[in-house]
Structure 1
């Protein structure tokens, strides 16, 4: 069974109604990204940051995985599929995918501010005064700008074993996540689904680029992959 590795980004979640900070002049839900997605922002105003992610967590209850998520999950019947996602939502999981690496953390987890390895499953709001068992304040389990990406080495290892590699719903401008594609083997066939991506030819051929939404692109690509590579 061939290994299909998928790098997904905000574009796939956007079709389920989740907004991205790139949608409106660098603002994320009307907040400067630096204020709600950086260690400095958390140090300056922790309540603002906690409230921001509490709202994002609540939003997850009002959205559902879309057809693109489900089509990716269906490919597990034909390929050994790994999802490497930049998204912090759980839509890949709810769509049915089983092997998922979250590069930028997960909204439905919390962790100690003093130890990034002390991670808890977390469905509810996080408030000031909510403590981990180590006595430290809880924070969202999100990789903020300026922080290390703990799952990066794992993602690189998986990408280096790929027979097929799919980029879907990402601008390929957020690093180090975008660098994952550099580690795919020379024999690996690379596909891209994105309506707006610039210069896709830098890492794939024209015939492997689908200038389409995540859902429309997946409807076409699923059949191509099954017919050609299963």
Structure 2
């Protein structure tokens, strides 16, 4: 069986990962999200944007995969499992999943904003959030930025192509913890449905996708995903 899991912020939230607005506390309470998640904001205030993402990078080290992440990884014992995620954390990988495609990039990869060369050099420690940190400088003179997708930027071509392939080749697609409103990622389950592939939604809240899926489970990932693979034949009839 080929299973494709499409995961969103709700899945990582169960591990204690704050959603975008949750982390806008204290020092960042009055920060415009566009200013720290857009190429325009980067050009105007690279020191502030770098500080915010560096803080999130280190914050993630205190977070562990939850039962949902571990369940998806364990499914590989009996199925071909591919994960398409909108999350920029590495919790799927840390849980043991081997095929993970990051549509919105990763907090754990960096590149030059001019020549696009990957950066694996040292990073300053950040035990507490600060307002401003100068980003490293590439040998070409460009600035090192987080390799995440900001507002207005294109999704990484390779990750997108592999995600489309994973969805269209699946025997079942499982959509977990995503609002289903952020495109083009939200179009992937619609692509599966158009091809007659069963789609199961796992989300405690209703979404725009709920009324269209094959089956919608109003539960959390950590509660539902353990054992779900074994239940699929009965659930899908």
Task: Please classify the TM superposition score into its range, dividing by the shorter chain length.
Answer: 0.7 to 0.9
TM-score using structure 2 length: 0.85
Picking from 212, 215, 222, the partner of 1:215 is 222
Name the counterpart of 1:181: 189
SS in 2 for 1:177: coil
Matches within 5 A, 1:117-128: 118-121=117-120, 124-125=123-124, 128=134
Say yes or no: does 1:55 pair with 2:62: no
Picking from 160, 173, 176, the partner of 1:152 is 160
Following the alignment from structure 1 to structure 2, what is the Cα–Cα distance between the partners of residues 108 and 169?
Answer: 22
Following the alignment from structure 1 to structure 2, what is the Cα–Cα distance between the partners of residues 174 and 134?
Answer: 34
Cα distance, 1:10 vs structure 2: 0.4
Q: Deviations over 1:82-111 (max 9, x none)?
A: 000000000000011000000000101101
CA RMSD after TM alignment = 2.5
Following the alignment from structure 1 to structure 2, what is the Cα–Cα distance between the partners of residues 107 and 226?
Answer: 37
Cα distance, 1:226 vs structure 2: 7.2
Describe the shift of the 1:102–1:121 C-alpha distance in structure 2 as closer, same or farther (beyond 3 A). farther
Name the counterpart of 1:204: 213
How many residues align? The count is 223
Q: Deviations over 1:106-160 (max 9, x none)?
A: 10110110134x2234673495351234332100001001000012232112211
Describe the shift of the 1:85–1:123 C-alpha distance in structure 2 as closer, same or farther (beyond 3 A). farther
For structure 1, the 5+ residue unaligned runs are: none
Contact 1:78 1:226 survives alignment (8 Å): no
Following the alignment from structure 1 to structure 2, what is the Cα–Cα distance between the partners of residues 88 and 53?
Answer: 11
Cα distance, 1:24 vs structure 2: 8.7
Matches within 5 A, 1:78-117: 78-116=78-116
Describe the shift of the 1:19–1:186 C-alpha distance in structure 2 as closer, same or farther (beyond 3 A). same
Name the counterpart of 1:33: 33
Following the alignment from structure 1 to structure 2, what is the Cα–Cα distance between the partners of residues 169 and 123?
Answer: 33
Contact 2:180 2:209 survives alignment (8 Å): no
Following the alignment from structure 2 to structure 1, what is the Cα–Cα distance between the partners of residues 167 and 190?
Answer: 9
Name the counterpart of 2:175: 167
For structure 2, the 5+ residue unaligned runs are: 126-132
